[in-house]
Amino acid sequence: MSKFPTDKITFVSSGSPESEEARDILCTRYGNCPFDTAQVIVALGGDGLMLETLHKVMGLSIPVYGMNFGSIGFLMNDYDADNLPERLASAEPTVIHPLRMTATDKAGNQHTALALNEVSLLRTSYQAAKIEILIDNKPRLDELICDGVLVSTPAGSTAYNLSAHGPILPIDAPLLALTPISPFRPRRWRGAILSNRAEVTFRIREIEKRPVNAVADSKEITDVAQVSVSESRSHAVTLLFDPGHSLDERVLNEQFDY
């Protein structure tokens, strides 16, 4: 059962005609309180809206319940305008800790960002990237020649990570997935599964000839020289799911969906 009070609801939508219509119906039926006084956020849209909303509530201890009006809706519940307070009261919470990215660009400027899905490094020219990989400051791969590489949380392991042929991680596993994107050399290297206590450092080689951008969810840093990634235990967000449709159940189903 949800441990969160759900009397004060704030509805947000992706802006699509369908989600806006649903928002009007739900606001009329259940009211709509200001964001800063909400006990729960109901997000009407797809996974992109959910990630955007989760970043907004980071550190506020406000749970988010999604209703799907997007393409995939992996982080969302089915839409139904009826019995919303009861659904919220019985919803199952899932807590997610984000990744913290610290990126240094080629000018020496340092940037930080949080990612709930993944931190990815991507080449930005016709030249393949050349990246050295260190785990806890110990060199593990001298040179990865690739289109890119990413570090994924369990929650994000079914997103870009899965498309890049990375492993699906159980939602409560204390693990991170390190996955190359279109690796050329070493040809047989397919990534690694790491402890969520590990710090992953990427050093970009030939940064002028082979420029690389780093992306933490939707925040992009251009022309990076070095990027460090680790889990931030000081930050957390809470998603709410209908009973029987929790995120760990969806992750399990994804592994048997062929």
Domain ranges of the chain: 9-96+236-254, 99-231
Peptide bond into 170 cis (omega under 30): no
Q: Which residue has the higher pLDDT, 258 or 36?
A: 36
What's the mean pLDDT in 201-212?
A: 97
Q: Kindly list the strands in the beta sheet with 9-13, ordered across the sheet, starting from the edge strand earlier in the chain.
A: 9-13, 40-45, 64-68, 237-241, 92-96
pLDDT band for position 249 (cuts 50, 70, 90): confident
pLDDT computed for residue 80 by the predictor? 94
3-state secondary structure of 80: coil
Is there a common fold for 9-96+236-254 and 99-231? no
Length of the chain: 258
Q: Give the active site residue among 47, 78, 136, 147.
A: 47
pLDDT at 257: 65
CATH class of segment(s) 9-96+236-254: alpha beta
Q: Give the model confidence (pLDDT) of 53-111 as tens digits.
A: 999 999 888 999 999 998 777 889 999 999 999 999 999 998 999 999 999 999 999 99
Instruction: Say whether pLDDT at 155 is over 50.
Output: yes
Strand ranges inside 98-183, DSSP E: 99-105, 110-115, 118-123, 129-135, 138-146, 148-152, 175-181
Averaged pLDDT of the chain: 92
Per-position b or e across 200-226, b if 16+ CB within 10 A of its CB: bbbbbbebeebbbbbbbbebebebbbb
User: How many DSSP H helices and E strands does the chain contain?
Assistant: 5, 17
**Where in 22-109 does DSSP place strands (E)?**
40-45, 64-68, 92-96, 99-105
Strand-pair partners of 105: 224
pLDDT at residue 1 greater than cutoff 50: no
At 9, list the tokens.
């609801």
SS3 for 79? coil
Closest of 172, 171, 159, 154 to residue 99, by C-alpha: 154
CA distance 214 to 226: 9
CATH C-level class of 99-231: mainly beta
The answer to whether the CB of 74 falls within 8 A of the CB of 64 is: no
**Is 217 known to be catalytic?**
no
- Confidence (pTM): 0.85
Task: Give per-residue pLDDT as tens, 4-59.
Answer: 666 799 999 999 999 999 999 999 999 999 988 999 999 999 988 999 999 999 98
Average pLDDT for residues 203-212, to the nearest whole number? Answer: 97
For the chain, give the percent of residues with pLDDT over 90.
80
